[in-house]
Structure 1
Amino acid sequence: MNSLINYRVEGNLALIGLARPPVNALGQPLRAALLDAYERASANADVQAIVIHGDSGLFTAGADISEFGSEASFAAPDLPSILVRLTQSSKPLIAAIGSIALGGGLELALACGYRIGEAKARLGLPEINLGLLPGAGGTQRLPRLIGAEPALDMMISGQPINASRALQLGLLDRLADSAETLLDSARAFAAELLASNAPARPAERFAQPAAGLPADFFASFRASNEPRWKSRLAPRLVLAAVEASCRLPLEQGLAREGELFRQAEDSAQSAALRHVFFAEREAGRIPGIDADLPLRSIEKVAVIGAGTMGGGIAMNFANAGIPVTLLEQKAEALDRGLAQIRKNYEISVKRGKLTEAQLEQRMELLQGTLGYADLADADLVIEAVFEKMEIKQQVFRTLDEVCKPGAILATNTSSLDVDAIAAVTRRPQDVIGLHFFSPANVMRLLEVVRGKATAPDVLATTMKIGKRIGKIPVVSGVCFGFIGNRMLEPYNREAHRLVLEGSTPAQVDGVLTALDLNMGVLSMTDLAGVDVNFLVRDGNRAAFANDPSYYILGDELYKLGRYGQKTGRGFYLYEGRDRKDDPEVVEIAERVAAELGVARRADITNQEIHDRCLFMLINEGIQLLDEGIALRASDIDLVWINGYGFPGHVGGPMHYAETLGLDTVLAGIRRYRDELGSHGEMWFQPAPLLERLVAAGKTRIEKI
């Protein structure tokens, strides 16, 4: 038998074990082997029932994602055709679901007449996260099994459900007590079905999937969700497919699903999201560091600073079951920090995301202290104190004295020189930057900043612990602002300058949000704090001393105490969460422009805003890659998607540049260098790597 399938017959039962590690991805070789095994069982007169299971326990995580967008995706035997064949079985066909049944894996289970799962199994249709929809019958069979509304919810959310919920919905027929007893339970289930002369495939539970729903259900669903979907194609295609399941016979519905799937698969959005999927997996591969490098043990963590950032960082480790010591200078600040952490958890309890017991378990993992001596046994110490080099260096001098040998010492700086911080210790090899993004207990990005002396095992250990606490860790070298904030500088600079030249904050931000960014860059500045932006800039003034207009509007707003949302005024006016345009910002811009001799104009187009902001963002990213600060272009995309709200379905700024055309980006930069006078000559300098890539006819951003 094919090595991808473990096929055996036990009496009147055929067992088909999927055996393609690590996740039984349903690529063409496994599809062919599965079909062959099924036909063999069907043709065997002694076999009266068939069980499909994961040979190593795990059922299947679904399709082979590397096939999407290529001919291999529908290479014979294609998954939709195989699953139609399985539904024609004359013998009871049981899916025994261990661990996970996701995407095409759940569609395989839906093609079986019966389903049994282990108690900890998770089932879902996450295709929307790749800009796709279920394309092997899921959009048609699931509504007929559990009803249109819960089926639609599963597909739109893309989130798996647990086994008990699947049983409640009727997606599972039975639950096994454990993974170890799953196959025995499946055997017993098959025996029961045969003893009761059960049909090979029971009648559809929801022959009319939309029964009981309002007549305008789909129209209302679309209207209420479209603002949140923005320009995303996949949710609309999912909705159309589920709607087809309610209006068309199964065979026609499957044909319609196939058409919609191909439309999604061929879209630029799906290509971008698949790029992001593989980027996340590639980010953990660090040149020169072997996968078998011994790592340091992280069993106890300490966080210095119990403010918003420090508290959020501590929560990440408590959430992962790791004890945390939280240090503050004063008892009041410590008590306030611990109280805020409890409040954050209480919000999660109210939302049903945590139980009271889980809240208390996590709080028990958090220990407060006012003394550095209590950090002596910590395996990892993260400082989250004020963003001033002198303060951070003093903290690290103290840590050097009190921490045990081999402890990893991490700074949460967002822009400062990690090497300068490490230099005040006698163990620079143990120092690393761990730049969490605010709110630290929510944001997925973690910039892991490797200093020139950082030991390989320190880097590898922190990358692993980052994943353990649910982050997407991305390696950065040392430079001002690292990857994300260094790229933010020219992006934000052009936004400020455009307002100085005659645009409005709303026009600038509107161009960016039209691309589906979560917010425009000036709104982001107001959210992060105009004062925070000023203080970061103030520590690096030598870099722009030759440009008196540099971020001048930000400086003016800072002088006026307009710090953004926290003060109710920044680039906008705020009443609670409501944001309003502020004519006074335009007046400030007019005054400052006149003082500096900057010509204002009314003809700034949306295209100019797009090109000046985004081309400068892209250009800086390419320069970071050329300098070796970023390991790969896809790492930069991950930083901007997970830290700065760049839309995943656009693929991040580097992928976006590739879709625009690198020659287009270079031509735009050169154009504004010539058109913007001294400002253009000063700031619109193409990255040498961009020029080399275009000269070489390259369409992908890579080091050459």
Structure 2
Amino acid sequence: MSDPIAYERDGDVAVLTINNPPVNALSQAVRQGLMTRMDQAEGDAGVKAVVIVGEGRAFIAGADITEFGKPPMEPSLPDVIDRIEASPLIVVAAMHGVSLGGGLEVALGCHYRIAVPSARIGLPEVHLGLIPGAGGTQRLPRVAGVQAAIDMATTGRHVKADEAHKMGAIDVVQDGDPTELGIAYAQKLLDDGAARRPVSEMPAPEGIDWDATYDAVLARGRGQIAPAKAVRAVQASVEKPFAEGLLAERDIFIELMNTDQRKGMIHAFFSEHAVSNLPELKGVDPRAVDHIGVIGGGTMGAGIATAALLSGLQVTMLEMSSEAGEAARGRIGGNLAGALKRGKISQAQHDAIMDKALQVSTDYAALSDVDLVIEAVFEDMAVKKQVFTKLDDVCKQGAILASNTSYLDVNEIAACTKRPEDVIGLHFFSPAHVMKLLEVVVPDKTAIDVVATGFALGKRLNKISVRAGVCDGFIGNRILSTYRQAADQMVMQGASPYDIDAALEAFGFAMGPFAVADLAGLDIGWAVRKRKRAEGTMPDGATYADKMCEAGNFGQKTGKGYYDYAAGAKARVPNPDVMPLIEEDRAGTPQRTFTADDIVRYYMAAMVNESAKVVGEGIARRPLDVDMTLLFGYGFPRYRGGPLKWADIVGLDDLLGDIKSYAETNPEFWAPAPLLEQLVAEGKTFDSLNS
């Protein structure tokens, strides 16, 4: 490898260029190189200023992830930053691209900062279950103020250069080549007789109501502790001398390094990047996709169309009538108006999409030239087969025929066409232009380049794409069906839906299962239950949920479900009609008391057991595929890593013991997953199957 820090001189200015592709991560070699080059600059006669700049597309994107989990290597980043800040020379950071985490901390260790307009800064450590550990919570408040520092450290959001300039984190924003800008700025500082300006010597900022802020951030994190701990670290920048503040920050950083939450967040970080990296797709070129068709313009179809349009694809929306087509256009227009309001697209882009990129038709012939078509019609096999038979007739050769089915057998759908190799499942989650998860469901006869195309499309749509095999519900909905059954069992045994929701929301879910059912629509589960009864695959059980639907209570969209939404979706209150229906179903069932911990353990045991079956059967190839599905599609708390990472952390042996104890009263439902039993017997973890 070439020297990661190049040294050049321009008159009185030494230029240190970081060259560690692709994003100049702070590897040990980079850290040591900065120390060595600072020594060189200070020993170079006539040098009065130093410019630190990044080669390529970033200043410094942060820590070197290849060093995660390994013993620390000298020099440490705090030592490097202290060394830069202590220099008798004027040190300027010339920033472009991203300066994140340790990258921003290095910039704050410099005496002055200049950035191009497209530059962004951030402290994303919270997404790893940590806080900044090299002075970020101590230096940033001194230049940007307490509120800005708390916002950045607790959310991890990226801040654009102009906003960073307004808050004081960047001194100058100017267009141009970063190296040339840095040299010119350093020379101007010298010409103006500017002094060194170490951030550590700046006065501490004004304090705030720390306890109230801590409590608010903790509540917003739904159980994640790192954001609230960041508040305490910023508090130290106000209340302690700088050196003591650094020690306080480091103590909190080390404390968080040893938490289960950090383990879960690190697992989520790596798994998010690994989940679509499939060995079978290496060297496989996807088919070209520029124009897609979407059949069905309801909430799901309109969301899929919106996601495609926002990614630059041409979309033909097919509906059954002109009235339905106009309604679909209206839904898409509403979605795009939201993107316009949030600054995701310009007015010109919005108008071009609505006027040119989107076409609405009632004729299947309009799909004759699309590269890929996604069916998003009613969840009924007969309807799906009718659609695919027509698509088989009108779509060009090589076009990919995709179903957005949530549960149905994609092999059976493919079999009704003359081109099963071109058929795939693309299961989006609603609203499809917002939710990140995409299950790429691979039937038996699907061509490998069609699979590659599914993943390429997911990447273009900015989705987290997970490969799934064919079974009822694939990965996510199959597991959902099981842990929902576990919740229903608890209801029959004495827990209320509201106890269960409260316990699981305290665990970290954004919403409990009964609130989620209300949001999705209770009629969806009702349709599944009716289908399974017709197939003879629905076990006997409670009927209260069916009775709710029979009364027309489908959740939020009808104003009532498990909760009453008369005061609005966020002001949910228990529906008083529900518990009497439950009491009728409970007759003759032994009752018990569930604590919040009991609820979480029972629910999670069911989730883990079914997840292990899904992996063991090959429906999911790896445990991390399950974890990412539950994280991005079902609201599983990210800081717990996913159900199978959570299981590893709490211990597989104890979980298996719980499952076997539950099986004493319901052996069929609680049959232990063979894979789980195997891992316990061999003393292994789910994570051992991810590599």
> What SS does structure 1 have at the residue aligned with 2:234?
helix
Q: Which moved more, 1:146-155 or 1:601-610?
A: 601-610
Q: Which moved more, 1:219-228 or 1:436-445?
A: 219-228
Q: Report the counterpart of residue 564 of structure 2 in structure 1.
A: 573
Letter aligned with residue 270 of structure 1: R
Q: How does 1:245-256 map onto structure 2 within 5 Å?
A: 245-256=237-248
Q: 1:44 to 1:313 in 2, by over 3 A?
A: same
**Offset, 1:3:** 2.4
**For the Cα contact (< 8 Å) 1:393–1:421, is it kept in 2?**
yes
Letter aligned with residue 260 of structure 2: A
CA distance in 1, matches of 2:147, 2:653: 47
Structure 1 residue 561 corresponds to structure 2 residue 552: yes
Which residues of structure 1 form unaligned runs of 5+? Answer: none
Structure 1 residue 673 corresponds to structure 2 residue 648: no
**For the Cα contact (< 8 Å) 1:632–1:702, is it kept in 2?**
no
Structure 1 residue 336 corresponds to structure 2 residue 327: yes
Q: Report the counterpart of residue 586 of structure 2 in structure 1.
A: 593
**For the Cα contact (< 8 Å) 1:309–1:384, is it kept in 2?**
yes
**Offset, 1:176:** 3.6
Q: Report the counterpart of residue 476 of structure 1 in structure 2.
A: 468
Q: Report the counterpart of residue 47 of structure 1 in structure 2.
A: 47
Structure 1 residue 640 corresponds to structure 2 residue 639: no
Q: Report the counterpart of residue 235 of structure 2 in structure 1.
A: 243
**Offset, 1:83:** 0.1
**For the Cα contact (< 8 Å) 2:215–2:228, is it kept in 1?**
no
Q: Which moved more, 1:473-482 or 1:348-357?
A: 348-357
Q: Which moved more, 1:582-591 or 1:102-111?
A: 582-591
**For the Cα contact (< 8 Å) 2:403–2:426, is it kept in 1?**
yes
Structure 1 residue 319 corresponds to structure 2 residue 317: no
Q: Report the counterpart of residue 372 of structure 1 in structure 2.
A: 364
**For the Cα contact (< 8 Å) 1:145–1:205, is it kept in 2?**
no
CA distance in 1, matches of 2:96, 2:70: 30
Letter aligned with residue 533 of structure 1: G
What TM-score, normalized by structure 2, do the two folds share? 0.95
Structure 1 residue 193 corresponds to structure 2 residue 189: yes
CA distance in 2, matches of 1:542, 1:346: 43
**For the Cα contact (< 8 Å) 2:294–2:317, is it kept in 1?**
yes
> What SS does structure 1 have at the residue aligned with 2:99?
strand
CA distance in 1, matches of 2:182, 2:552: 68
Q: 1:685 to 1:602 in 2, by over 3 A?
A: closer
Q: Report the counterpart of residue 127 of structure 1 in structure 2.
A: 125
**For the Cα contact (< 8 Å) 2:108–2:199, is it kept in 1?**
no
**Offset, 1:88:** 0.8
Among 481, 485, 491, the alignment partner of 2:477 is 485
Structure 1 residue 695 corresponds to structure 2 residue 681: yes
What TM-score, normalized by structure 1, do the two folds share? 0.93
Letter aligned with residue 337 of structure 2: E
Q: Report the counterpart of residue 375 of structure 2 in structure 1.
A: 383
CA distance in 2, matches of 1:536, 1:350: 37
CA distance in 1, matches of 2:201, 2:481: 57
Q: How does 1:210-221 map onto structure 2 within 5 Å?
A: 210=206, 216-221=208-213
> What SS does structure 2 have at the residue aligned with 1:288?
helix
**Offset, 1:352:** 5.7
**Offset, 1:438:** 0.9
Q: How does 1:384-533 map onto structure 2 within 5 Å?
A: 384-533=376-525
Q: 1:4 to 1:206 in 2, by over 3 A?
A: closer
**For the Cα contact (< 8 Å) 1:145–1:204, is it kept in 2?**
no
Q: Which moved more, 1:185-194 or 1:384-393?
A: 185-194
Q: 1:157 to 1:701 in 2, by over 3 A?
A: closer
Give the paired residue count. Answer: 687
Structure 1 residue 286 corresponds to structure 2 residue 278: yes
CA distance in 1, matches of 2:134, 2:408: 51
Q: Report the counterpart of residue 30 of structure 2 in structure 1.
A: 30
**Offset, 1:607:** 3.9
**Offset, 1:225:** 3.4
**For the Cα contact (< 8 Å) 2:532–2:538, is it kept in 1?**
no
CA distance in 2, matches of 1:34, 1:284: 35
CA distance in 1, matches of 2:387, 2:476: 25
CA distance in 1, matches of 2:66, 2:430: 33
CA distance in 1, matches of 2:421, 2:369: 19
Among 145, 152, 155, the alignment partner of 1:154 is 152
Letter aligned with residue 304 of structure 2: I
**For the Cα contact (< 8 Å) 2:142–2:199, is it kept in 1?**
no
**Offset, 1:310:** 0.7
**Offset, 1:554:** 2.5
**Offset, 1:414:** 0.6
CA distance in 2, matches of 1:368, 1:669: 52
> What SS does structure 2 have at the residue aligned with 1:93?
strand
> Cα deviations across residues 215-234 of structure 1 (Å, max 9, x unaligned)?
64333323433322232111
Q: Report the counterpart of residue 10 of structure 1 in structure 2.
A: 10
Q: 1:76 to 1:586 in 2, by over 3 A?
A: same
> What SS does structure 2 have at the residue aligned with 1:514?
helix
**For the Cα contact (< 8 Å) 1:307–1:337, is it kept in 2?**
yes
Q: Which moved more, 1:376-385 or 1:472-481?
A: 376-385
Among 666, 672, 677, the alignment partner of 1:686 is 672
Which residues of structure 2 form unaligned runs of 5+? Answer: none
Structure 1 residue 621 corresponds to structure 2 residue 607: no
Q: Which moved more, 1:685-694 or 1:228-237?
A: 228-237
Letter aligned with residue 141 of structure 2: P
**Offset, 1:447:** 0.8
Q: Report the counterpart of residue 296 of structure 1 in structure 2.
A: 287
**Offset, 1:700:** 3.2
**Offset, 1:558:** 2.6
Q: 1:695 to 1:484 in 2, by over 3 A?
A: same
Among 154, 165, 168, the alignment partner of 1:167 is 165
CA distance in 1, matches of 2:514, 2:601: 16
**Offset, 1:126:** 1.0
CA distance in 2, matches of 1:566, 1:445: 23
CA distance in 2, matches of 1:530, 1:172: 51
Letter aligned with residue 635 of structure 1: D
**Offset, 1:98:** 2.0
Q: Report the counterpart of residue 84 of structure 2 in structure 1.
A: 86
**For the Cα contact (< 8 Å) 2:85–2:198, is it kept in 1?**
no
